[in-house]
Structure 1
Amino acid sequence: MYPFPVTFILVVILSSPMCKGQNVNTCNVTPKDQYIEVGSDAQVVCQTSCVRGKIFWTLNNRPINEGLSNATNSSHTVLSLKNFTRHSATLQCHSAETQHVLGGTTIRTYSKPSKISCRFYYVSQNEGVPERLTCSWEHRINSSLEINYTVLVCQAAECTSHETERTSIDIDALKIYTSKNINITVRAKTAAWEVSSSHVEFDYYDILKIGPPKLNIAVLSDHLLVKWERPVAQREYRCQVKYSKVVSDGTSEEGLKEIPNSSVNITVESCSTYKITARCALNKAPWSDWSQEKTVLTKLNKSDIKLRLWRKIAEKEKNGVRKVHAIWMEIPATCQDTFIYSIKRIPYKEHMTGVNYTDTSCSKSNCVVDMNQDAHRINLTVLHNETPLAEDSVYVPAVGESLPHVTELQTATAEGVILVSWKAPVQPVRGYMIDWTHNGNQYYWKESKYTNTTLSDLLDKKPYNITVTPLFNDKTGHGMQALQICSRVGDPGNVTFVDVRPYDKSAYVSWSTESQEECSGAVINYTVLCSIEGSPVLNVTVDHSKQDILLQDLKPDTRYSVYVMATALTGTTKSRERLFKTKRFDPRLITALGVSGTIIIILVLSLGLCCAVQWKKFREKPLPNPGLSSVALWPSPGHQERTPPSQAVNNPSESPCDMVYPEETQRMPSPLPDTSCSGNPASDQTEQYTDPALVLTPDVQNEKPTELIETLHLSSPGESTALLSSGDGPFSPYRSQSSVETPASRTSKLCPRVPVKQQEKTAPMTVYVTLSMFEQGQGR
């Protein structure tokens, strides 16, 4: 790299007259910013004229071993770096005494282009002379300088050069001799350095990328035969065939075969769609592009027909007929031919003798067959153009037939699958049939030889009914159905509020749970959370049996928010937040006061109404007419005579209550018969005396006897009232009455002809009727 020794350069510099006396006190590092090839050696000189003593070097601020530097004289020190591989490095020279930096430089590395690869390929044709040659290489670049590449393509003594600024180039291959080896060299050049790669020689057929093969596919009953033409005569080659089965959901199952010839057999499934493509390559040459993909539909293979006939037996009806649901795996609908499924229902006893009974044909994958309570066997035959393709049969036990069954049937759910296990019966079995359904209409089933199985591809969060039936050589046992189980248990049902009734210091909260899915998780407990402006104040948990709660210790006239959270083993659900405000006063107290006030008002109104009715009755009673009052003597206390009703009631238009009787008379327990003057009863008399005061008014005559009694109690026996005499004035309507009048004296007035002994005279007393007397009688 350096044609002259460093010592010679230093001698020239020191002996130069231009430098003498000018750079004595100069310190520096040379050369500056040099580029070297990766892995080569480098030397750097430090001029130490400005300092005394030793120096030391640093590489990227780290000290370098002193053994790598050598002092040629007192003012120059040379640093030698062997096999330098860093991308870049900064070297600095330091004074050991003052630690000052005397100078520095940067070293950058570059590399040769390497890993050159080339290939011939076709553009518009797949055979003959290749049209293009493309080459690429790697170059370790650590420079901001612009790099230009020159590619030399040499065949024998002829070379052609091609310029590019990238690490790949595409060359017109028609100008290059084919069927011969070629040499490739790549040269990289910048303003600071230039380097060339090593020469690389390629065999023409090792870099020839042939065209994709042309496929010819034959569809047979059980496989596909794929063929293509040989790419290059008398040359070894290899090919790959890629095929994939198209599934209903759009995905595919891929397969890859690598073969050393031009044909291959591919085993496929019946009535399925396959996509096939292939590619080939010469021995060491790169792979060709994939051929155009071809799609084929395979034929029906008899060996692929798996009917897997099974049955589900319904309960016996009243007429003794059983509905047996026969199910099987039908031939895929992708098979475009027409197939007929024939069901034969054969009594088991006659089946043993070979007697057949043909039933109707079925075009679907299930049929319902009517059977009696005897044992039967169902035979299923698949026909294509009246030619049988496959057969299968299943046993249907008789009603009440003693057959073994599995025991200890258990199920469990784990990550979307159902695990089923059971205990085998005592009798030896050849296997078990497991069937399951989520709606009772669509069944799935499979056969197992073990006492456990896993059910997958289930609908999410759906309840399933699972039945396990043991299988024997020519019969089937009784099926054992497990408890209904969900494929996956979801979160508990949604919580919805029913009512929030706030009081002053409490609130009644009730809610309900609505399950949106069949397999919602069972609620373990409910948590009611109440808060004020986002700050929790209450957190109450109740078990799943309660759906209401009374929140206590609340503040009156305060806004709250409340929600309910349901917790299950599988998760939690949360209701919507509900806002409410407590009352200023207890509404129940207001309600009680309102009810009490209403009752009091009703009682007051009822009492007032009664009083109004009584006052109305009182106002409607006529006032007594003093002109109708008569004078009568007060009977003695021992007098028991009572005026006969015939004499007392002479005016039918008057009421008995309008008559006025002395209180003494009212006290008589029973009336005495009135007699005439001769001692005979009054009825024998032709002439009667009628006291006008005893004539009843019409309205009083219609009143009840009780009212009459009340009217008669006007005054007490000892009461004495000064009344106006009938002779006091011509306008007085009242007659003179005596407070003491014996029956004898009264008789004397009626019968003057009979002498009667007069009693001792007393002061006469006048009596008249006033309205106050009625009031006193009512008061009594």
Structure 2
Amino acid sequence: MDFLLLYRVNHSWIVTCLLTFSHVMMSCYTEEHSERRQLHELTVKRKDLKRCDNDNRVCVTDDSDCVPRTHVSHERVNISCFFLLTDYALTPYPQCLWSQQYNVNAESMHSLIFSQTTPIYSCMGIFNLGGRMNVTLKIKNNMNGMESWSEPYEVAVQEAIKAPCPTITSVNGSDNSLEVTWGISKLYTRCRVRYRMATTDKWTEIPAYVLVANAEKAVYTIEGLKPFSSYIIAVSCILSFGHWSDWSMETTGTTQESAPSRPPDICYHMEMVNKQGPHHLMLMWKALDVYDAHGHILGYQVSYTQTKRPSLSVTTNTTDLKVVLVVTEDELEVTVMAYNSAGGSPYSHLKIDLSLHQTLPSVRRLWVNSEDDRLVLQWDVGHISLPVSEVANEWATDAAHPTSSHWKRVNGSTRSTVLKDHLQPGTTYRINVYPISNQLCGPPKSIIANLEYGTLLGAVGMHVVDVTKNTVTVQWEWQRKEVHHKVLKYRVILCLGEIQVESIPVWPDVWQHTFFKLRANTGYSVNLLAETSNANISREIIPIKTHIFEHNEIIFTVCLIVLLTLGLGVFFILSRTVYKTYFFPKIANPGASVVGRWLLESHHEKNRVKNVLKLEEFLVTDLSGEKGFVELGQERPPVREDGIFNPGSSHSTLNIKHIFIPQNTEYIENTPKSNRENRDSSLMFNNVAHIENGQGSLLPESTQIQCNFDYIQNKHTLGDSLKIAFLENTPSNVE
């Protein structure tokens, strides 16, 4: 950009020369000196312009320039000159611009030389509208006295006239336009207007010219602007000949407010206190962009309606970007509207169904560091199933009821941000971080910090929770305290002697850690370390020794030994019984047998008598001549503790359980006696007792008893006795 210095002098002319350069100041450094481009300003007044005596075709600003030059070194300098007109003088005055490389280690002097091909009688008359001349720039180095000259620049006064610069007098605006007014010269014929937003450097020039001939002032309205936006405006004009004037001084204008053009983007988080009671519904929305807000947002209107009872609606107003509502219904419809002084935005609608409610976990590993009067906030979203579209950061003074809070949103893939606005030294702030996934937002993760120390939380009270054969678990607490160091982060370090085995960073949401794959019966140490920018501060060191065996290994071993002992005991007991049964069977002792002793008596053969069992009480009818079968049973008499049968017990009885005898009595009566006598048969009875002299003894099984049946030849009825005679018993295998 060229800088021009204009002087208006009544009834006089001034030659103003400025040394201008490009937009960017360039610096070049060499081993001996440094060079750069610098802006110079040279003003030539009427009294300073002199006519050379030795050359009547030259006017100079320095008398030394009138001396003839023997050796001229022409330096390549881009020079251009214009002639300016003022309202106070019709005689234009020149304005010359050029650029050159400037050495900051050397001082230079600049002068202008005006020459014509015709004689100059007065230097005051060379700048007439029909004049034509050459302009030369002389540059002299004061340190070494060397001079350099530019190439002569030919200029025609009328063709090089530049219109005077206009002045903007007022700018009035509506919500989408600005009306610009500027004063004009009588010599102007047309003007042009350009504008740009205050937040950008890109100019927009109105394509159509504004005709201003024979007018005292010019007015132009710029249409299609954005509401509540600041614009910078400049104006330039031209005469009927020559060049456009320089752009006027930049003037700022602001459009008025209009209603917001779009609704706020909202998300929600439902905190279910209990299944039957009310729920806490947190609504959060994003502040409208300045181009959509169309003014200063005064507040937000929040309404919610129960889907089942649309007539019941609750409305609340807030100036914050978050509100917490207590609701009882499971289905709700929420609307949010932003408003300014011009009106309200469209409504943003949100339908919530708690039966289909999803949850979004909070962020983790939240930490704040202080750097150069700003807070550097970092976090991690972890492994969240839903994609995180944005992360909202809220900070406010750490008070029970802060007056206001400030917000900043970043992209969901970002893991850190810098907070530098609305922060004051010596003030503690509570910072909340919310993950957002479309219309669902997670619960806040909070941390407290200030500009002096960053995070105001410290890890303390580390202790051992569990020690096993291959693992060690330690636990600590996070407490708020006034620290005196800027702690960058905390670490828990496991060491084996002087060797660092493992080091992990810990955050306020982590209060326990387990080290795995350790050696059994080995001594370790756990160190809680606070990292600072200058050094590491060791908080606590705990020595630990791992166990030889695991608890479950000990329990398993003890249970195995007990079960093995019980199994061996049962095995030995069972095996003793089995071995005794098969290899050491029980042998009967004849000496303890009553029957055996009875058989061994010497008078057994002599006193052999026939014992007859009288069966008169047993009566049968319709007896046949065929053989009958008698089933005898007995009640076992008591046995002594040594297992020997007691024949003298009075409880020894013989019971006849069942008798089957042929019922053909006629046949029996007509049968010869010899035949009836031959009906003696040997029958096998089970559990038969021997009775002698009123005393009996139990006979073993498979004892053959010879029975002789005598039938009474008269009428028998059921229930009469039947006499059975024991003719002979032959014991076998009697114990």
- TM-score when normalising by structure 1: 0.37
Q: Return the structure number with greater relative CO, CA threshold 8 A, min gap 6.
A: 2
Determine which structure has the larger strand proportion and give its number.
2
- TM-score when normalising by structure 2: 0.39
Determine which structure has the larger helix proportion and give its number.
1
The structure with the larger Rg is 1
